[in-house]
């Protein structure tokens, strides 16, 4: 079974925003906030000791996030520029299409439909301004939806104007797959 520190590190790796200790407590289902603080401090110290690491842990009073090392800013900026200005990959287009037709959609639902991890693609689509995310307190998960910029680019004023929107938005078989996966 993975350690608390390992769980926290994994969550920080796949998210693109800081997590509070309160959120980490909730996500790890840990009961003791002190254990979360200790695991975060231990993780912070681990990354601090890795002088040649491309990843650093940034910590404020209550939030923590994994980020790229400042020394790599140039190469990262070039990579991000290439990722955000070039054509969208087939996987990105597929992800964007699913979000357009099924939003609001959680990453778990999206990954169920696609069958693969979508965190990097979601980050890239967010950087490009094509999708946005909002924390859905009811679902206790981040949900994704297309942006106004994306709709302006397509020349539509409402996602319902997408071709076959009603048919693709309410596919019963897809709903069944998503519902079955939630039970697991």
Q: Where are the alpha helices (DSSP H) in the chain?
A: 4-14, 21-28, 33-49, 73-85, 90-102, 107-114, 119-127, 148-154, 165-169, 172-183
Residue 154 has what pLDDT? 82
pLDDT of 165 strictly over 70 = yes
Residue 169 vs residue 59, higher pLDDT: 59
User: What average pLDDT does range 18-45 have in this prediction?
Assistant: 90
**Distance between CA atoms of residues 125 and 123, nearest Å:** 6
159: confidence class by pLDDT, cuts 50, 70, 90: confident
Q: What is the mean pLDDT of residues 151-169?
A: 83
Burial of 169 (0-12, 13-18, 19+ CB in 10 A): middle
Q: Which domains does the chain have, with CATH numbers?
A: 4-72 (1.10.10.10), 87-177 (1.10.10.10)
Dump pLDDT digits (tens) for 62-102. Answer: 889 998 888 888 888 787 766 666 788 899 999 999 999 98
- Residue-wise pLDDT for 33-52, tens only, equals 899 999 999 999 999 888 88
Q: What is the pLDDT of residues 114-152, one digit of tens each?
A: 889 998 899 889 988 899 998 878 878 889 999 988 888
pTM for this model (two decimals): 0.54
CA distances from 49 to 14, 36, 43, 46, 124 (A): 22, 20, 10, 5, 30
**DSSP code at position 29:** T
What pLDDT is attached to residue 146? 92
Q: Specify whether the CB–CB gap between 121 and 92 falls below 8 A.
A: yes
**What pLDDT shows up at residue 153?**
80
């Amino acid at each position: 079974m993975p350690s608390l520190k390992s769980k926290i590190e994994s969550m920080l790796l796949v998210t693109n925003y800081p997590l509070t200790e309160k959120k980490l407590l909730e996500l790890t289902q840990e009961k003791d906030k002190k254990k979360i603080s200790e695991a975060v401090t231990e993780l912070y110290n681990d990354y601090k000791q890795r002088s040649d690491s491309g990843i650093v842990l940034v910590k404020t009073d209550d939030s923590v996030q994994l980020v790229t090392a400042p020394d790599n800013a140039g190469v990262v900026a070039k990579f991000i520029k290439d990722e955000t200005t070039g054509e969208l990959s087939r996987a990105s287009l597929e992800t964007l299409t699913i979000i357009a037709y099924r939003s609001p959609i959680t990453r778990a639902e999206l990954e169920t439909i696609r069958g693969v991890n979508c965190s990097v693609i979601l980050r890239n689509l967010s950087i490009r301004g094509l999708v946005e995310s909002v924390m859905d307190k009811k679902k206790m998960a981040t949900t994704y939806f297309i942006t106004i910029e994306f709709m302006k680019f397509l020349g539509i004023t409402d996602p319902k104007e997408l071709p076959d929107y009603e048919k693709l938005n309410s596919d019963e078989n897809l709903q069944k797959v998503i519902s079955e996966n939630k039970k697991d």
